[in-house]
Structure 1
Amino acid sequence: MQILIVEDNPEIAQLLHDTLTREGFSCDRAPDGLQAMQRVTERPPDLIILDLMLPGLDGLEVCTRVRQMANIKDPYILMLTARSEEIDRVIGLSTGADDYLVKPFSPRELVARVRALLRRSLRGEKNRLHQTPHFTLDLDQHIATRHSADQGDEVLELTALEFNLLAVLISYPGRVWTRPQLIEKLWGNDFFGDERVVDTHVGRLRKKVEFDPSQPQFIKTVIGLGYKFEDD
């Protein structure tokens, strides 16, 4: 597995590099956002450890640009920050980060987070089955099943767009998706119109997947940002 470390503090960058190489990972380093983008283009990594506060191009902008790159594999992004406020975490995840680690952190915690991300079968073509406590999505057969202790298993009658929307949300539990990000995933460059069309499709999907659409349990609205999927 190839990991790109994007950190402007030489001591922290060295700590990250030494810790991960001891665990058998191959690591590359970039001291700022612009060099990080060059490394991603030249040698797309499997995972990026990305400091939030970088000179020039900050971590949020790097994260956003990486997620917009259509010609590379979709790497996991673990964002680092010295700040612990919830709003920073939400903004980081909303731009496409998969996880968030607050400094100072222990090497053991770092390795655990990295291994947890790389164990996820949520990226690439091998990742064809998504399961949560209440849902199973089979991407090969295009079947969405909702599980309930009271009502048993129910195959959901979803349109192709609704299925794809649910697949995007369920593939990244807890991640906040903005409307433009969902549009990019579902329509790409073929979309023309008002981004609020996403709200319409989310509303229709909720009617089919939620036990009570008026009080969504799974597809949550994040005020001012977008939507996320939760199934605890």
Structure 2
Amino acid sequence: MYIAVIADNIADRKQLERLLSRANDAISDETGTLYIDSFGDEKSFLSTAMRYEIFFVDIVSGEEQARNIIDILKNAGVPGRIVVCRPEGTPFSYADTIDGLLSIDKPILTAPLHQLLKNVHADYLKEVNAVKKVEIRSKTDTHYIPVNEILYAIEEEHMVNVHLENGDIIPMLGDLSGFARSVSTSNEFIEARNDIIVNSNHIISRTKKEIVLTNKETLRLKRFSLF
């Protein structure tokens, strides 16, 4: 699970990093590994905002600045849940106007933080698994693609291009191993080459040298191996 910490006070930022690092040691068997990035303001994370499942917004310079960051995230269409860190008992008036906005009291305690992380991860799994879909994140958007619509993924020039049966190609952030993890629970996918993963349900013929897909595309092969 990818987490972004946006805090304008360096001491608060470092403290939340430590708490999340400890959470990774304690609950990663339930949430998966926690990957934590921290930022001092919104300008430094916008280029990679689509990758995060959770945004912790801890702004001490005023509610208006926190609201601005939340607006930026919402307008960008980020898929991650937004969590506002606030002094205990202090209302955040913007909360009622943002659907799904979460909050956690400061000082942040271990038990509430761990429970929040578990809840967000559980909600994420429900969303992805409601229909058998794969989450594919590009630089500008997050796509939830039904497994049966994916033909194959190929790693090209430091990007993974995911080819769909309708002809669309989605450039996915990360490498082919990241795509492999995304589809690891789906038995349909096989490694055709060290740079290609194919949906076996779309293979209509195959030899040692090539496979032909349902869209009539031919892929040259070196080897086949099941995940």
State the TM-score, normalizing by the size of structure 2: 0.46
Instruction: Determine which structure has the larger strand proportion and give its number.
Output: 2
Structure with greater Cα Rg: 2
**TM-score calculated relative to the size of structure 1:** 0.45
